[in-house]
């Protein structure tokens, strides 16, 4: 099947996030280039001398997921209040950047190393810490496995790392197969305007009456269709739920294909281009995997939310156990967040009391 690799402008709509959030210093903004020349963004809030800590968002969202204006205290405000030099990365998956087709290999090779290098250049720090979520965590771990991030001293992995375990019968799992079934002409999936993509619209209409039982937000219904249950409704306050469209946008199909391949294979592998192209690129018929434990000898905390139905908690359990067996138990710990789903881990109305303290403790984790 053929893909249109032209990048097109993101159609993401947002109200300005540049509202003054309580307790936050003035943002410092840095434009920089990934290793292959793709323009990326870093936003810094200096809360003190701890860190620097890099926050990496998932796919189909942007760094704003860590600083919702609708929470009493969001994750960035929380980290700043606790004295962290906090850095938000908008990597090539960000819906605030122009849409482009990319594999997670591209992000692992070019985005994560460039972001860490830029932060070290600006701060003069020897090393950085990182809190990484979902597809951002997957790409970050692939980058570590490839040996690109020796200067990251502590990692907190939210929901998924090197092993991908998605529920067998969910819509997310089904959606990960959709790109394989489509003809050329559709370059992205989006929750904001289903009418532009007839197949998506048709499939969506079938399930929307079922979804409508939980709430009456069309954006929320499309999100549920695309990713499965991304959050527990009970965890979101009404203001956050009403403004969900500010957080989400288009996700390119090449990334969906790659996530689908890893979901079916169960762990991180390079993109499968098909036998002929694999032989040309990799020198082997099957794409190589990222299962090299050696670069992971550093403190890592794996965090899964108990009710996550996008990536099952067994995803982090597998990477956690695999690394303990390979490198010894001293470097690793795992934390479960009871009662939480996927994105409410950061967007929940009481996350500042429930989940942020767990993530902060994980940043301070020292090998035993």
Query: Long-range contacts: 321-327, Cβ < 8 Å, 24+?
Result: 322/162, 322/163, 322/291, 322/293, 323/293, 323/296, 326/293, 326/296, 327/293, 327/294, 327/296, 327/297
**What is the closest distance, in whole angstroms, from the C-beta atom of residue 214 to Zn ion in the complex?**
6
**What is the closest distance, in whole angstroms, from the C-beta atom of residue 245 to Zn ion in the complex?**
12
Using CB under 5 A as the binding rule, whether residue 17 contacts Zn ion is answered as no
CA-atom Rg of the chain in angstroms = 19
Nearer to Zn ion, 201 or 217 (CB): 217
Element spanning 205, H or E: helix 198-211
**What is the closest distance, in whole angstroms, from the C-beta atom of residue 340 to Zn ion in the complex?**
16
Question: Per-residue contact track with Zn ion, 209 to 228, x per CB under 5 A?
Answer: ------x-x--x--------
Nearer to Zn ion, 134 or 219 (CB): 219
User: Contacts with Zn ion in 124-153 (CB under 5 A)?
Assistant: none
Question: Bridge-partner residues for 87, per DSSP?
Answer: 44, 54
Q: Which residues contact 184 (CB under 8 A, 6 or more apart)?
A: 1, 2, 3, 4
Nearer to Zn ion, 226 or 363 (CB): 226
The tokens describing 341, both together, are 């789903």
Using CB under 5 A as the binding rule, whether residue 359 contacts Zn ion is answered as no
Nearer to Zn ion, 231 or 331 (CB): 231
Nearer to Zn ion, 135 or 220 (CB): 220
Question: Per-residue contact track with Zn ion, 272 to 311, x per CB under 5 A?
Answer: ----------------------------------------
Q: Which residues contact 251 (CB under 8 A, 6 or more apart)?
A: 59, 60, 93, 95, 188, 189, 190, 226
Nearer to Zn ion, 217 or 307 (CB): 217
**What is the closest distance, in whole angstroms, from the C-beta atom of residue 243 to Zn ion in the complex?**
12
Question: Bridge-partner residues for 244, per DSSP?
Answer: none
> Quick count: other Cβ atoms within 10 Å of Cβ 108?
24
**What is the closest distance, in whole angstroms, from the C-beta atom of residue 216 to Zn ion in the complex?**
8
**What is the closest distance, in whole angstroms, from the C-beta atom of residue 226 to Zn ion in the complex?**
13
Task: Answer whether 131's CB lies under 8 Å from 55's CB.
Answer: yes
Total number of residues binding Zn ion (CB under 5 A)?
3
Q: How far is residue 332's CA from residue 297's CA, in Å, rounded to a whole number?
A: 9
Please give the residue ranges that form the binding site for Zn ion (CB under 5 A). Answer: 215, 217, 220
């Amino acid at each position: 099947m053929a893909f249109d690799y032209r990048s097109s402008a993101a159609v993401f709509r947002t109200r300005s996030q540049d509202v003054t959030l309580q307790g936050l210093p003035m943002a410092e903004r840095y434009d920089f280039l990934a290793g292959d020349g793709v323009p990326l963004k870093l936003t810094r809030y200096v809360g003190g001398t701890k860190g620097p800590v890099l926050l990496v968002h998932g796919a189909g969202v942007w760094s704003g997921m860590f600083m919702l204006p609708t929470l009493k205290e969001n994750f960035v405000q929380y980290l700043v209040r606790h004295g962290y030099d906090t850095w938000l990365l908008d990597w090539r998956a960000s819906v605030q950047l122009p849409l482009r087709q990319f594999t997670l290999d591209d992000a692992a090779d070019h985005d994560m190393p460039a972001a860490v290098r830029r932060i070290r250049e600006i701060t003069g720090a020897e090393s950085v810490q990182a809190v990484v979520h979902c597809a951002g965590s997957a790409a970050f771990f692939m980058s570590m496995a490839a040996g690109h991030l020796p200067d990251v001293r502590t990692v907190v992995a939210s929901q998924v790392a090197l092993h991908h375990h998605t529920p067998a019968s969910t819509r997310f799992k089904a959606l990960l197969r959709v790109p394989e079934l489509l003809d050329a002409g559709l370059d992205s999936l989006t929750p904001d305007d289903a009418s532009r993509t007839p197949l998506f619209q048709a499939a969506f209409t079938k399930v929307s009456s079922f979804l409508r039982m939980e709430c009456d937000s069309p954006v929320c219904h499309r999100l549920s269709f695309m990713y499965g249950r991304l959050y527990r409704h009970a965890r979101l306050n009404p203001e956050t739920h009403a403004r969900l469209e500010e957080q989400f946008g288009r996700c390119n199909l090449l990334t969906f294909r790659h996530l689908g391949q890893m979901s079916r294979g169960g762990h991180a592998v390079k993109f499968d281009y098909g036998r002929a192209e694999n032989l040309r690129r990799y020198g082997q018929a099957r794409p190589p995997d990222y299962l090299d434990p050696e670069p992971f000898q550093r403190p890592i905390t794996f965090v899964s939310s108990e009710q996550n139905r996008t990536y099952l908690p067994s995803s982090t359990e597998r990477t956690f156990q695999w690394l303990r067996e390979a490198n010894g138990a001293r470097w690793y710990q795992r934390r479960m967040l009871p009662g939480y789903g996927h994105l409410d881990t950061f967007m929940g109305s009481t996350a500042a009391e429930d989940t942020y303290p767990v993530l902060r403790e994980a940043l301070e984790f020292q090998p035993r």
